[in-house]
Structure formats: C-alpha cells, structure tokens
Structure 1
Amino acid sequence: MTAWKDVEEAVPEFAERVRKIFDAHKHKTIATLRANGAPRISGIEAEFADGELTFGSMTGARKGADLHRDPRFALHSPSVDPPEGNPAGWAGDAKIAGRAVPAGAVEGDAEGELFRADIEEVVLTGLNAEATMLVIETWTPGKGLWRVERK
C-alpha cells in the first residue's frame, strides 16, 4: 500500500505542490465506478493528515457503495482559472488515483465511512514559466517522477 507519506518521502517538493493545490479549497471531485462500469462524479472533501490521504462517504451514499464494489477512484483538486492577464500565475490542477481502503467510521457529527487512499498515481498539470506549454508531472510508486511538456 502506498500512503501519502510515501509520496512525501519520495518526492517532497512535488508532494508539497500537489498538497498546496488540494488544500487551497475545501471541495474536491471524486470519480468512482458505477455497477454498470460507467463513471460517477461526486463532490467530496479530502484530508491529508498523519501521512494519509482520507475521504469519507455518508451513510447510504452511492459513492461509498461504488468504492466497496470497485475500490478504484480518481480524486481531482479544486479547479480555478488562471489569474486574469497572468496565465503563468496559474497554480494548476492536481489529481490522485488509486484504490480506496475502508478505514472505519467517520468521526464527528456526520454518519458515514472513512476511506484511506492506496495511491497509484499523482499528477500535477500546470504551465511552464512562460505560459507557452502545458507541463504534466506524474509520479507512480514504480516509475517515480517524470515530466511531459506539450504545446
């Protein structure tokens, strides 16, 4: 199992940039798979704490049922537009994909189930300093970190 702390240890600067984008806003988006194999997109909150990435599902929510049937997920950071007149100032988008591992009940006022992320891929998409190329940085446990630039 690959926890968030493993990403932080392997590529600390990259992990810090990814986390900053995820932590910039409260609401994220998660994709799960329905019983028929079609994707389902849901709003979600996620938390980085104690070396883990966790997220919850309210009791009876379809995303929780999806994750129990097929634990694969893709989590997308909040997405914001580049600053007006300064495309190079765009922080970018971050994505984390993997498998959801049940981790017990959600603590607090809400009823639901907590999941830990078994991370298979982390992606950071942004622009180069001149804002002339799209830069895609990807990290996986087996391959490490690599970068692709596209016009």
Structure 2
Amino acid sequence: MNYTWPLIIKFIMMTVVLWIVLGLFGASFVNILLISILLTLVSYMLGDLFILPNYGNLWATVADFGLAFIGVWALGSFFDQIGFWAAFISAIVIAIGEAFFHWFMNQQVLEDEEPIRNDMSERNLQTEFGSDMDVKSDAEKANKNKNQE
C-alpha cells in the first residue's frame, strides 16, 4: 500500500488545525510545525496503522484524541506555554477530523490488509491425544508380582 499520501494529508490537517487553534493562544508557527510533525508521525503509526485496522474507527479516534491532547499539552507547554484549554480544544477538533480521516484510510489504504490482532478465539487450535496409563491396572500388576514372589 502507498502510505505517503495519507501521511501528507494527515500532516496538512494537523498543521491547519493547530495553526488555527494554537495561533489563537499565541503559539509561534515554527513550534506549531514541530508539534504537527511529531504528532502526525506518532498518531499515524499508532492510531492509523495499528489501532484502526485492529479495533476500528471509534477506538482509533479515542486514541488520537488522547494522543493529541497529551502531545499538544506537553509539547505546547514546553515550547510556548500552551495551556490545558488550548490542548483540549485542539484535541477535540483533531479527533473530529481524525474520524473522517479514518474513514478515508479504511476505504482507500487499508481495504485489503489483514488485521494483526492476536486473538486466541480466532486461532485454529488443535490438541494432541495420547494414551493414558491405567493406574489401577499397573497397581494390580505390581501386587501380582509381589504375591508371586
């Protein structure tokens, strides 16, 4: 599959949202680009390539919301003193955009891929049958051998 275009689309979406929201809170454009690059790479690999095919759109959107909130809050407070509300509003807008992006990923990119989930319920497990030792008959044989001696 070609992952380049979805990554570019996600980066543009992330940059535009953060530029609008964090720009209102006084963040510099260079710091917004750095936050966008880091969040795009991490959320693409974790949310879009792992969680989305294995657990679906809802859980991938929830994971992207949490990642965006924590990432914007942590990186924003490190770079530009961005606070809780800026991170929360950014995460909500990003999560809404991510829900549509996940639909696009499912339709265009992940349509032929198999999930990599390791559920025991989906495996074809087999058992091995063997003959068990009959304890009673072995004990009787031991008693017969003692009686014969």
TM bin, normalised by shorter chain, reads under 0.3
Q: Which has the higher contact order (CA 8 A, sep 6+)?
A: 2
More strand by share: 1
More helix by share: 2
Rg larger in 1 or in 2? 2
